[in-house]
Chains A and B, each alone.
Chain A
Amino acid sequence: MVPVNYYIILSAILFTIGAVGVLIRRNPLVIFMSVELMLNAANLAMVAFSSVYKSFSGQIFVFFVIAVAAAEVAVGLALIVEIFKTKHNINVDEMNSLKG
């Protein structure tokens, strides 16, 4: 058995990579992938804790996160495709029609 700490450390690393990715990457698709990484880091931690406590609520939570993340993906991709259709460019640095 791998000790639970390893899972938690791994999930913390994944979460940090995801959070940093959101802050420094400029392509919405990559930002979005970083967000998914954050969610999956949480999923990993949840499942690990779930096995420690022999409780299923952690695993149930993971199911919900997966399902809801799929809905989020659908909305996010649709938005990105729409923007690409009107602008032919999806770099967030060039999204500056709103400023003040």
Chain B
Amino acid sequence: MTQLDFQTLLPLTILTVWACVLLIVDLFIPKNRKGITAVLAALGLAVTLSFTILQIGRENSGYSGMVVLDGFSTFVNALILVSGLLGIALAYGYVKRMGLERGEYYTLLLFSVVGMMLMAQAADLIVVFIALELLSIPLYVLAAFSRTSAESEEAGIKYFLLGAFATGFVVYGTALVFGATGTTSLVGIVGSASNGTSSLLLTIGAALILVGFGFKVAAVPFHMWTPDVYQGAPTSVTAFMAAGAKIAGFAALLRVFATAFPTLATDLTDILWALSAVTMILGNVVAISQTNIKRMLAYSSIAHAGYILMAFVPYGNKDIMPISIAAGLFYLVSYVFTNFGAWGVVIALEKSEGKGLEIGDYAGLGRKYPALAAAMTVFMLSLIGLPPTLGLVGKFYLFRAVIAGGYTGLAIIGVVTSLVSAYYYLRVVVTMYMKDGEPTTEREPMLDFTTAFTAIVTVVVSLVPQWLFLLASNAVLKLF
């Protein structure tokens, strides 16, 4: 191990040590003061974030090429760490209110963040696998964190069984890729593949890996677990899971496919096209009939996986790819902020035993709590892709890149499904402002702050989006 190796994984190492120490420290924190653990966990994420930011512009690979550090990984890691911070901020009051407050919540969240960061830096299929498991296993436990609620346990076991199933696909795909090329290193695979080794094995292997990641990012037809898990898991966990697992899944998908399998582009482009189209259509159409807000947002999350998948379709086209991936990253950023904000509002209205989660419960919110209703309106507009929000800018960049790649049909599907989605998102807004009701909220400063912060980011950044897009473009530049 050299100093360079150490630098490559410095933020990740800090966070791992922090999480391990926190696990022990938490044992000595009295039961009714677990807020201290939350603060310590957030502090760890903040320290890691500052070290990640210090790494901007640095590029090297470490540990015999098993991990890399580049603009892409730095960008994604920063986004993951911000998600972790938002996740803790949402959970802080919620777990106390729901009687779930245990120190392990925050430790598990930290370990999951470590897994996600490792995923963004992985340069070898072995590391991809370990990162995948490191991010998933804590999430299985978090989904089942409410031990007294049958729904939460059911969500946990369903997530676990399907997640393990998906892992099986990734592992077998890796085995076949190894069989076709004789190496598990992403750079080695592309070198071996261009020499013309048995490509059928390689294609099947890549397809199996795609299936595995399809499960993780909840793309149709591998989405069946999503609504149940999102509904059953504690809401603060759902928010973190929806954002974090998506970022990490897409980061790995991008890294693996752009680096290792560019030779398979002709075979895979059509598959990705179909996956993206079906995911957008099914997610948005099924969301219409949902009355539970958590289920509705779950289907919305599926639909958004479809939009982000669009960014991968021009993959293999060297000219369009950088723009389209940058657009995908931008969309991820906009999705993360909108997602946490929307779930924050859901948390504010949720009562114990799953009450307060029907869309009808939002009636009258506009009159009674104008600020909260305004924030929710911003998030709904952003999810549709209407001004003045980040969602619009994200969709604009995405559709532009896809059209430039020559996939106008896909862009049309994207626009039409966005219009369809307006129906169910606006229904929430209409219920809030047009219907009479007496909603009650249970808020605390941390939650209010998170909701306000994400709402402001969603609006303000959408007015000056160029710098963020530039940042995303610079991040992906060196990948190709």
30 A-B residue pairs with CB within 8 Å: A8-B179, A19-B165, A31-B161, A32-B161, A38-B172, A39-B167, A49-B175, A49-B178, A52-B179, A52-B182, A57-B184, A61-B174, A61-B178, A61-B184, A64-B126, A72-B137, A75-B140, A76-B160, A79-B144, A79-B153, A80-B157, A83-B157, A86-B147, A97-B154, A98-B154, A98-B155, A98-B228, A98-B231, A100-B231, A100-B295
Contact of B182 among A19, A55, A83 (CB under 8 A): A55
Given contacts A71-B137, A98-B228, contact A42 B164 (CB under 8 A): no
Given contacts A64-B126, A72-B164, A98-B228, contact A39 B137 (CB under 8 A): no
B295 (CB) vs chain A CBs: closest residue: A100
Provide the A42-86 mask, 1 if CB < 8 A to any CB of B, else 0.
110110111011010110110011001001100110011011001
Bound-state Cα–Cα, A72 to B125, Å? 19
Task: Give A31 Cβ to nearest chain B Cβ, in Å.
Answer: 5
Which residues of B (14-65) have their CB < 8 Å from a CB of A?
Answer: none
B172, A41: Cβ atoms closer than 8 Å: yes
Bound-state Cα–Cα, A83 to B144, Å? 10
Given contacts A22-B161, A53-B182, A82-B147, contact A65 B168 (CB under 8 A): no
Cβ of B232 under 8 Å from chain A: yes
Bound-state Cα–Cα, A36 to B208, Å? 17
Given contacts A75-B137, A83-B154, A95-B157, contact A100 B290 (CB under 8 A): yes
Task: Give B168 Cβ to nearest chain A Cβ, in Å.
Answer: 3
Which residues of B (174-189) have their CB < 8 Å from a CB of A?
Answer: 174-176, 178-179, 182-184
B138 (CB) vs chain A CBs: closest residue: A75
**Inside 8 A of A49's CB, which chain B residues have their CB?**
175, 178-179, 182
List residues of chain B with CB under 8 Å of any chain A CB: 125-126, 129-130, 133, 137, 140-141, 144, 147-148, 150-151, 153-158, 160-161, 164-165, 167-169, 171-172, 174-176, 178-179, 182-184, 227-228, 231-232, 290-292, 295
**Inside 8 A of A79's CB, which chain B residues have their CB?**
140, 144, 153, 156-157, 160
Contact of B165 among A35, A50, A53, A68 (CB under 8 A): A35
B129, A61: Cβ atoms closer than 8 Å: yes
Bound-state Cα–Cα, A22 to B72, Å? 36
Provide the A10-48 mask, 1 if CB < 8 A to any CB of B, else 0.
010001001100100000100110010011011101101
B232, A68: Cβ atoms closer than 8 Å: no
B171, A42: Cβ atoms closer than 8 Å: yes
**Inside 8 A of B158's CB, which chain A residues have their CB?**
92, 95
**Inside 8 A of B168's CB, which chain A residues have their CB?**
15, 18-19, 22, 35, 38-39, 42
B150, A86: Cβ atoms closer than 8 Å: yes
Contact of B178 among A57, A75, A95, A97 (CB under 8 A): A57
Task: Give A16 Cβ to nearest chain B Cβ, in Å.
Answer: 10
Bound-state Cα–Cα, A80 to B179, Å? 35
The 10 closest A-B pairs by CB, nearest first: A38-B168, A53-B182, A45-B175, A49-B179, A42-B171, A42-B172, A98-B228, A42-B175, A35-B164, A68-B133
Task: Give B292 Cβ to nearest chain A Cβ, in Å.
Answer: 6
Given contacts A39-B167, A41-B172, A100-B227, contact A64 B129 (CB under 8 A): yes
Bound-state Cα–Cα, A39 to B227, Å? 26
**Inside 8 A of A58's CB, which chain B residues have their CB?**
175, 178, 184
B140 (CB) vs chain A CBs: closest residue: A75
Bound-state Cα–Cα, A82 to B146, Å? 11
**Inside 8 A of A8's CB, which chain B residues have their CB?**
179
Bound-state Cα–Cα, A97 to B146, Å? 15
A64, B130: Cβ atoms closer than 8 Å: yes
Bound-state Cα–Cα, A28 to B151, Å? 16
A41 (CB) vs chain B CBs: closest residue: B172
Task: Give B215 Cβ to nearest chain A Cβ, in Å.
Answer: 12
B133, A71: Cβ atoms closer than 8 Å: yes
A76, B164: Cβ atoms closer than 8 Å: yes
Most interface-central of A38, A58, A79, A99 (chain B CB within 10 A): A79
A73 (CB) vs chain B CBs: closest residue: B164
Given contacts A22-B161, A100-B231, contact A86 B153 (CB under 8 A): yes
**Inside 8 A of A18's CB, which chain B residues have their CB?**
168
B179, A60: Cβ atoms closer than 8 Å: no
B150, A87: Cβ atoms closer than 8 Å: yes
Task: Give B189 Cβ to nearest chain A Cβ, in Å.
Answer: 12
Bound-state Cα–Cα, A95 to B231, Å? 14
**Inside 8 A of B153's CB, which chain A residues have their CB?**
79, 82-83, 86
**Inside 8 A of A53's CB, which chain B residues have their CB?**
182
Bound-state Cα–Cα, A49 to B161, Å? 28
**Inside 8 A of A68's CB, which chain B residues have their CB?**
129-130, 133
Contact of B183 among A35, A45, A55 (CB under 8 A): A55
**Inside 8 A of A64's CB, which chain B residues have their CB?**
126, 129-130
Most interface-central of B125, B137, B168, B174 (chain A CB within 10 A): B168
A100, B129: Cβ atoms closer than 8 Å: no
Given contacts A45-B179, A65-B129, A72-B137, contact A28 B161 (CB under 8 A): yes
B176, A45: Cβ atoms closer than 8 Å: yes
Task: Give B377 Cβ to nearest chain A Cβ, in Å.
Answer: 24
